[in-house]
Structure 1
Amino acid sequence: MKTKYKTQVNNIGPSVVDFLGEKMLILFGENAPAELAEYCLLITINDVESTIDSGDTLQIGEREYKITAVGDAVKKNLTSLGHITLKFDGSQTPELPGTLYLEDTDIGEVEAGDLIRIFAK
């Protein structure tokens, strides 16, 4: 198992639940503008170690999700801002450059302190 990216959820904005119905979570580094922070999981900004690919796994806490498509700007945005959208709709083709697409499934509960990892099995 090769870890490509690892960070921690430091804070959860009070309006994160507003996007659960859209099957979305938004990640942003601790430097998120206040008007956006309330909708985001605030994370530590870390480098992405290698290319993120379809078929890799995203883990949040104890739950694992298969990555189905990767937007062109995901790696750059994670490394520079910690800012991407996680979309749990099973899309095979990335529609938005800053979005990581995951299997179509329910999103597990996320808590402050949870680790987020992306790895290849």
Structure 2
Amino acid sequence: MLIGTVTAVGEDAIRKKDPMIILFGEKATKDIRTVAIIQSFEKEAGNIKLEPGHTISFDEKVYTIKTVGSLVNENLNTIGHVTLSFSEVIKDDQIESSIYLSPHELPEVVVGTKISYDD
């Protein structure tokens, strides 16, 4: 399991009409920080491998992974980046750096929120 703590929430990071969240590690650029949620890890990600059926939690709210894009694990392990999509998977338009989650509702995210990646 990998646990991240939210250290910053960009001014345009959460929009109710767009059911997705972009997460980045502490090394995110200034421009990325405006549209992303920044997370800091207690330990280096290193070798986490997320797959369908695993879960991601925001504090106590648990989401089930439905689909994992081909770039997700490498990006999460190297730069702390992943895009979380809280919508149905569109087979022909899947984002390769995205994890599609269920239920399809945005979590409450504030500075201090714990994000648990359960592999």
TM-score using structure 2 length: 0.86
Which runs of 5 or more structure 2 residues have no equivalent in the other structure?
none
Q: Residues of 2 paired with 1:90 and 1:67: CA distance?
A: 11
Match of 1:6 in 2: 3
Which runs of 5 or more structure 1 residues have no equivalent in the other structure?
none
What's the offset of the Cα at 1:32?
A: 0.9
Contact 1:67 1:100 in 2 (8 A): yes
Q: Which of 8-17 and 92-101 deviates more?
A: 92-101
What's the offset of the Cα at 1:84?
A: 1.1
Q: Percent same amino acid among aligned pairs?
A: 26
Q: Residues of 2 paired with 1:65 and 1:81: CA distance?
A: 22
What's the offset of the Cα at 1:64?
A: 0.7
Superposition map of 1:83-98 within 5 A: 83-91=81-89, 93=91, 95-98=94-97
Superposition map of 1:1-121 within 5 A: 3=1, 5-18=2-15, 20-45=16-41, 46-91=44-89, 93=91, 95-120=94-119
Cα root mean square deviation, aligned = 1.9
Deviations 1:42-77 (A, max 9, x none): 011531544211011110111111110001111110
TM-score using structure 1 length: 0.85
Q: Residues of 2 paired with 1:58 and 1:92: CA distance?
A: 20
Q: Residues of 2 paired with 1:51 and 1:88: CA distance?
A: 20
